């Protein structure tokens, strides 16, 4: 998360001071949500970075009303859902959508690997948001309807981590009145307005240039045709694609490091890596679950 995003979230939490009152005149959508005019704020906390599953960035509780669970976005924010893992994806969208996604990701990866501007990669992770170029597909190519998009923006369920309103601005709120004015409901109408910005973003990870992101779950993996006769260093995508292709994966939390380990241990394909001092080498065997 950028410093600008963190500063904005902190400013929102600070503006909603404990003991202060909401304005007497609040929007109708807030009242329909169970929030009373002039209610007293009893808690205002920045919680967005406490869990990767949080869609709520700032949580505001009141004396009598239901809480405001605010998803905070800078005006130029490009991501609405970052680095979705297998476990979370299956929980929110189901196995059938997962299967559809890993098929589409594999088709994309095999095509992308033959582009002249493609760097070396052995797997592709995903995010949701705005994208230019050729590293995305439309949201509805994978998902069935706009309700799935609402899950990405708002979260799932009624717990504190699922947001119920949206703050989109580069400006910090000047007062509680200004904060209320800048909020919008996270209903289907708002989601439809945001839908043009939300795509399925493919994120191939270059092991030469990235270390920590190699731990993200993948939705396709490079699969060699057969083991080589001796350890061979591969340093570009063109040479890698001579040895195999990208294939679908199972939802077993497979990541880029696992693939790299298995390529070396089982297929004698060694890819020099950017050092990651926090990680120890460990063989990974993929199970078909």
What CATH number does the domain containing 191 carry? 3.40.1350
Q: Within a domain: residue 99?
A: yes
Asked if residues 155 and 51 have their Cβ atoms less than 8 Å apart, the reply is no
The chain-wide mean pLDDT, for the chain, equals 87
Taking Cα atoms as reference points, which of 135, 124, 107, 136 lies closest to residue 196? 136
Q: Within a domain: residue 237?
A: yes
Asked if residues 21 and 40 have their Cβ atoms less than 8 Å apart, the reply is yes
Domains identified in the chain, total number? 2
The pLDDT assigned to 152 comes to: 81
The pLDDT assigned to 146 comes to: 76
**Same-domain status, 64 and 22:** yes
Q: Within a domain: residue 172?
A: yes
Whole-structure pTM value:
0.80
Taking Cα atoms as reference points, which of 177, 159, 174, 152 lies closest to residue 73? 152
Range of the domain at 220: 80-129+205-270
Please enumerate, as own/partner, the contacts of 160-163 that have beta carbons within 8 Å and a separation of 24 or more.
160/47, 160/56, 160/59, 160/67, 160/69, 161/47, 161/51, 161/53, 161/54, 161/55, 161/56, 162/55, 162/56, 162/69, 163/55, 163/56, 163/57, 163/69, 163/70, 163/71
The pLDDT assigned to 23 comes to: 93
**Same-domain status, 66 and 85:** no
The pLDDT assigned to 283 comes to: 46
Ranges of residues in the chain whose predicted pLDDT is under 50: 277, 279, 281, 283-285, 289
Taking Cα atoms as reference points, which of 15, 83, 19 lies closest to residue 51? 83
Q: Within a domain: residue 279?
A: no
State which of 166, 196, 226 marks the end of a domain.
196
Q: Within a domain: residue 186?
A: yes
Taking Cα atoms as reference points, which of 31, 151, 52 lies closest to residue 97? 151
**Same-domain status, 11 and 111:** no
**Same-domain status, 72 and 90:** no
Those residues with Cβ within 8 angstroms of residue 117's Cβ, 6 or more apart along the chain or in another chain: none
**Same-domain status, 8 and 119:** no
Q: Within a domain: residue 116?
A: yes
Q: Within a domain: residue 246?
A: yes
The pLDDT assigned to 122 comes to: 97
């Amino acid at each position: 998360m950028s410093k600008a995003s963190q500063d904005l979230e902190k400013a929102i939490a600070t503006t909603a001071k404990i003991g202060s009152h909401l304005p007497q005149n609040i929007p109708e959508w807030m009242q329909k949500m169970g929030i009373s005019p002039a209610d007293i704020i009893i808690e205002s906390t920045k919680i967005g970075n406490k869990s990767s599953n949080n869609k709520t960035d700032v949580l505001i509780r009141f004396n009598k009303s239901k809480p405001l669970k605010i998803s905070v976005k800078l005006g130029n924010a490009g991501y609405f859902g970052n680095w979705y893992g297998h476990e979370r994806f299956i929980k929110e969208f189901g196995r059938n959508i997962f299967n559809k996604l890993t098929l589409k990701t594999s088709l994309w990866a095999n095509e992308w690997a033959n582009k002249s501007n493609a760097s070396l990669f052995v797997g592709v992770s995903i995010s949701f948001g705005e994208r230019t170029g050729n590293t995305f597909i439309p949201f509805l190519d994978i998902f069935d309807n706009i309700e799935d998009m609402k899950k990405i923006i708002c979260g799932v369920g009624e717990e504190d981590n699922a947001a119920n309103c949206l703050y989109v601005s580069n400006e910090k709120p000047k007062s509680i009145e200004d904060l209320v004015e800048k909020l919008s409901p996270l209903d289907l109408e708002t989601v439809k307005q945001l839908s043009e910005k939300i795509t399925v973003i493919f994120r191939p990870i270059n092991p030469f240039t990235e270390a920590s992101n190699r731990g993200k779950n993948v939705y396709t993996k490079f699969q060699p045709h057969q083991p080589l006769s001796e350890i061979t260093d591969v340093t570009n995508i063109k040479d890698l694609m001579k040895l195999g292709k990208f294939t679908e994966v199972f939802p077993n939390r497979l990541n880029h490091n696992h693939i790299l380990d298995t390529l070396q241990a089982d297929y004698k394909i060694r890819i020099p890596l950017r050092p990651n001092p926090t990680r120890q080498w460990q063989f990974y065997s993929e199970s078909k679950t």
